Structures are given as C-alpha cells and as structure tokens.
Amino acid sequence: MKNQAMVMTDVRKFELQDIPMPEVKPNEIGVKVRSISICGSDMGFFDGKAFSIFPDSLPFVLGHEVAGEVYEVGSDVKNFKVGDRVALEPGVPDCTCDNCMSGRYNLCKNVKFLATPPYEGAMKRYISYPAFKAYKIADNMSFTAGALCEPLSVGLHAVRRGRVSVGKTVTILGGGAIGMCTLLAAKAYGASQIIVCDLFDSHLDKALELGATDVINSGNVDPIEKVKELTDGQGTDIVFETAGAPITASQTAYIVKDGGTIVMVGNILKEVPFSFRQLYRKEAEVRAVFRYANTYPIAIQAISTGRIDIEKVVSAVFPFEKSQEAFIEAIDNKLNCVKAVITIDD
C-alpha cells in the first residue's frame, strides 16, 4: 500500500505527494479514504481567505467531510473489522472537560478537528483515526453519502436547536450547502412550510427540488415583506440564518413569528445591527449553533431509510488526482455548484 496526500502548497494549488503509511495506534482504525466532500471552510483555505485566521499554515492538507473503508484495526478496538465502511466525525474532543461530560462535546476547547490547524485534514489515500469517532454506514449508503453526514450534521443540529417539529413553519436565509442541509433536515423533522431566501435563482431552483415550499429571491423582493405575505402576516416559527452575513442576520428578528426561535448557523465575522426591540415584542429567542454533537447516528439512520436523500446536494464528482479542478469548480462556479465531491477508487 502506497500512501499519498493532496497537499495545499500555495493559494489555489495542490501537489500530490508521497507520504508514509499512517501508524495505527491501539485505539484507532486505519481507513482507506473513499470520498471527501468539499466544505466552505476548505474553500476558504484554498483561496487564501482563511490565512487571516490561520497565518503560516502552509503546506496544509484539507478535507474534513470524509468516509472510507477500514483496512486495519488497532489492538484495543473491538467494534470494527477490516472491510467495514465508515463515516468519520471530524472533531475528536478530549472527553474529559465539562462540555464533553455534559454531552456538548462540540464545545470542547481541546477538540482536534480535521483540517483545522494545527491538525491536518483527510485528503490522503490512507489515514488513521480514533475508532470512537467512526460510524459504520449502512450497506445501502454510498461513501459519498457517508462523507455528507458531516454537513448534514450541521443541518440536523440546527433543526434540533430550533426545535423544528411536525407542522412548524420555517424560513432559511441562505441557499448554500448548509442552507440546503438545513432544508433537508427541517423537512425530515416535519416542517410544514419551508421558505428559502437567496440571491441566486440557481440556488432557489435547487431548494425547490429538495423540498422547499416557497422560495424568495432577496435581490428582487424584500424577504421580510414576502415572508409576511406567505404566512398571513405572521412570520415563521423558526428562522435559520445560514448565509453568514450581517444583512440576513438582521432580517431574522423581523421574519420570526411571535414566540418563535431564531437559529444562528452561519459564521458571521462582522458586527450585526440587530433589532432587540423586534425580539422582545415577540418574546422570540435567539439560539446559536456551533458545529454539532450526537448527530452521526441520526444522519446515517435518516439517509439509509430514505428519509433524507443527501446525495441530491452533490453537483460534481472528481477523482482524487483532480482535486485542484474540484476546488476550482466549487469556488468559481458557486452559482451552480452546491457541493463538489472527490472520490478515491482503488
């Protein structure tokens, strides 16, 4: 077995490099990587934007949405065997702090997260990984569906934080990959009306295909007024901000229904002008989402039973050798590319 990594050596540049096979520690499994889906944070590194937060991080290996096949099992690992197909949860928490002990391990300050410096990502042919953060995927699931358990986890965690349930009405601001995963999760949890707002018709068409009941092009019409019109003037029970922009964040308070919930999913770096007056008059609440916790088993169950067809978010598939093309497609064709995926055959 010969290992290779797709190493980011410069802005918008990958180099396929030979690397040693990983050492599989007693608590780890060796995984032959089969599918990696590209996330917005990977793109942030690839086009250089992430260097403001992580300077001097090159050379670096990206990729944290990953699934593969077990080729070796560490001596202490009992629940996996060679040949098992697995999805890897990219965050490995310390399992000892208060956050971990309370089940909110996504808030662990000592987490080792794939492709977040100083921890390398999974764009390699073979990696070793702690077995307790690997999940067997169902036989009827593709490796790509396994990799997509990661972004779907964000959507699942968001709808649980928003307490979406049968009959609830939902607005999703932002029709990118996380917006789409939130849409799929909201639908699976029984939302009766799902309104998606975005600036691009291509994203809105995709949202309709995935089950949105209404779409709004926020570039053409005022989304606040339009949501009111679609909901008898009430707004929706839950509003998700997934665009990561100050303008959509400030719209949430006007769109949420009396007594409703705003869920902040997007990563907003700038300050946001926000009407707390809107919030208190409605007794609405704001809840935040940081990654996810305890979602992989639910994601696998929802995909394998057909409740969520996660592969519908895939726009393009590239072989490992063409990772550079995959990233360029994902970044330069954002209008049409919801999710690009890299697969590794034998």
Question: Interface with Zn ion by CB under 5 A: which residues?
Answer: 93-94, 97, 100, 108
Q: Which is nearer to Zn ion, 110 or 192 (CB)?
A: 110
Cis peptide, bond prior to residue 90, ω within 30 of zero = no
Q: Which residues pair with 194 in a beta bridge?
A: 170
Q: What's the rounded Cα separation, in Å, for the pair 72 and 96?
A: 27
Alpha-carbon span 71 to 58, nearest angstrom: 29
CB closer to Zn ion out of 101 and 221: 101
Beta-bridged to residue 195, according to DSSP, are: 171, 214
Residues 6+ apart with CB under 8 A from 304: 137, 138, 140, 141
Residue nearest to Zn ion (CB): 108
Report, in Å, the least distance between residue 293 CB and Zn ion.
11
CB of residue 89 to Zn ion, shortest distance in Å? 14
Q: Write out the two tokens for 48.
A: 């250089």
Residues 6+ apart with CB under 8 A from 85: 34, 67, 68, 69, 70, 136, 137, 139, 141, 143, 146
Of 274, 292, 99, 104, give the one whose Cα is nearest residue 182.
Answer: 292
Task: Pick between residue 100 and residue 154 the one whose CB is nearest to Zn ion.
Answer: 100
Q: Give the nearest distance from C-beta 95 to Zn ion in angstroms.
A: 6
Nearer to Zn ion, 115 or 293 (CB): 293
Which DSSP category does 323 fall into?
Answer: H
Cα dihedral across residues 286, 289, 290, 293: positive or negative: positive
Rounded to a whole number of angstroms, the minimum distance from the CB of residue 170 to Zn ion is 31
Question: Closest approach of Cβ 153 to Zn ion, in Å?
Answer: 18
Q: Which is nearer to Zn ion, 102 or 333 (CB)?
A: 102
Beta bridge partners of 240: 172, 263
Closest approach of Cβ 109 to Zn ion, in Å? 7
Nearer to Zn ion, 33 or 108 (CB): 108
